[in-house]
Amino acid sequence: MLSKLTTLFMIFFLGVIHIGALAAFIYFFDVKLLLMTILLWQFFALIGISVCFHREITHRSFKSIYPIKIFHLTCALIAGQAGPIMWAQVHRIHHKHSDKENDPHSPIKGFWRSHFGWIFEQGKRKQLKDFQSVPKDLAEDKTLRFFQAVHFPFFFLLFALLFFIGGWKWLLWFGCVRVTLTLNSSWMINSLGHVWGYQNYEGRDFSTNNKFVALLTGGEGFHNNHHRKPNSSNMAHMKGEFDLGFQYIRLLRKLGLITDVIE
């Protein structure tokens, strides 16, 4: 019953965000707001999702000093994609069962299911053994537990703040359009990143490298490289591949703000 309600709520919630994004283009179109939205999308998705949730929390590719960890996690909550523990757990299971039966979002069961349909399968997922307990390193991290607990109220407060400062224009552009772009660019890695592109490493799964997806996601589109070396902070393995997320990580390392960088 609870999982059905969660699914209905997620359909409603994601529906409102996407309809809000459409409304921004139809009723409040403004080139300046569009450009600012693109910048905000790229900034928070790069630092919050690619660098923090994916490389720092899920794969432990590096360690941040505490204020940087807080900064990264705050960027992730602003980006607007679930809490860190849930995100990392789903993604670790994706790596464990890539393109096999228990992969939470493989395109082997349909492209659109891998893009977003899997989000509504909460009930089915909970029955899988992998989801019955949270990995110890995530469960024992008090900071992650705090950010997991507050991610939803934080999101609503952020949207309320946008409305309070800039009215509908800010709410729809910096809220709905920005989050729609963040969600769909990340979802592209689950969908397009397993069907469209080239492989430097063949055979293990259907993951691909795609320069277009990499451009939209700060380097995450080199997903075939990433599947080969999931703990590496660098997703660009060959000449001509550019990973913006890794350049940010290199900069932080140079400044002495992060340590234990795995390459």
Residues that bind Zn ion (CB under 5 A): 207
For Zn ion, the closer CB: 105 or 178: 105
Give the residue with the Cβ less far from Zn ion, 37 or 207: 207
Nearer to Zn ion (CB atom), residue 116 or residue 146: 116
The DSSP call for residue 192 is G
Rounded to the nearest whole angstrom, what is the least distance from the CB of residue 25 to Zn ion in the complex? 30
Compute the least distance from the CB of residue 199 to Zn ion, in Å: 12
Smallest gap, in angstroms, from Cβ of residue 194 to Zn ion? 6
Q: Which residue is nearest to Zn ion (CB)?
A: 207
Exposure string for 117-130, b = 16+ CB within 10 A, e = fewer: ebbbebeebeeeee
Q: In sequence order, which residues have a C-beta less than 8 Å from that of residue 122 and are 6 or more positions away?
A: 3, 6, 7, 10
Nearest approach in angstroms of CB 38 to Zn ion is 25
Within 8 A by CB and 6+ apart from 247, the residues are: none
Shorter beta-carbon distance to Zn ion: residue 58 or 64: 58
Any alpha helices (H) in 99-177, and if so which ranges? 111-115, 122-126, 136-139, 142-170
